[in-house]
Structure 1
Amino acid sequence: ERNINPGVQLRPDNATPLFTISDLSRVWIMLNVYESDIEALKLGQQVSISALAYPDKTFTGTITNISNAVDPDTRVLQARVELANPQGLLKPDMFCTVSLNLTNTTPSGKQLAVNPKSVIFSQDKYFVIKQNGPGKYGIVPVQVVSSTPEYSYIETKPGLLKQGDQVVTEGSLLLYNDLSD
């Protein structure tokens, strides 16, 4: 970056740098992570990165730093991803989308993905309503491991809920109130 032009007079009281020189062969991407996703972050975790400028290209980076404090105004935690940028495609101040691979953070593979609207929070616990048959429903206690706008990743005791089971997404709170009475 150049902040001076030929013929401009230099003054000793001007603290503006004349030039900024950057090595873009390795870059940092600063992530803003919502509180509900903090648990999914791990140091050393691989992430996928896409930039609007390069829609057909995916970059891979590693989480190298996770802040110790949530910003009180934005309610997000900052994390840093480092990645190689040998072609210099990624530039300072570009916006990127970072995807966390949740399977890397949970080697057990026992999580189920459900619609976030199906998860009910009541009495400091999480539940889903499972359809046991036509017109028959049951309350299943679950543990929410992480959430995105599209999915809540949950775990439960063996045998209570399995892949392919139907859970209620619309009106689940009303049904929960009826079943828990």
Structure 2
Amino acid sequence: MLPVFLMIFVGCSNSKGESVQISNDSSSTNKEEVSSDTSKESPITNSNDTTSENTSTNAGGQDDNETLTQFSNEQIEYARVWLQLGPNQEIAELNVLHIPAGSPINPEDETSANYPDNVIQLAGSRLVDGSVTYSGNGDGTINVYNVPLRWDGSYPAGEDFYNNITDNTKLVNVEKGDDEKIIELIKLINDPS
């Protein structure tokens, strides 16, 4: 009787293990489907679909439980944008500045045109770290504005100069990047908002 009971128990255990495996496979598929549906909401929602895969692949130096699911979509977005476009990756701090639509591109120049959309400016703590100024499209892409962190030059530059900046943004696909590097950058974020 005992051997039959053990065989039944082992048999149930195996089929349960198989159903878990099938469940995991189907949840990955569902996540991909969900992520492709929700990718229209923000540049980073379509790239959160790999976080469950990375739970078991964290490298040394990080807690085994540290995954992107612990962080907000905005934090992940800032880190991914900086990882892909930031001029200097060796930063001590990642500062986030939210600039509302209608704000002047160059506040020091009265002839400055205004940003047509809400933009985010990412910058390190030093001028040499550079900056990235962009607006999100909600589909995994961003519009990058070619503006400096600090304006030098003679003013007034004229509205045409600034309109040229807003008319010639660069469309960039935001890449998923390496989760470990993303988490390292998230830990450096300084977002006063």
The verdict on a shared fold, with TM-score over 0.5 as the criterion, is no
More helix by share: 2
More strand by share: 1
TM-score, structure 1 length as denominator? 0.23
TM-score, structure 2 length as denominator? 0.22
Higher relative contact order (CA 8 A, sep 6+): 2
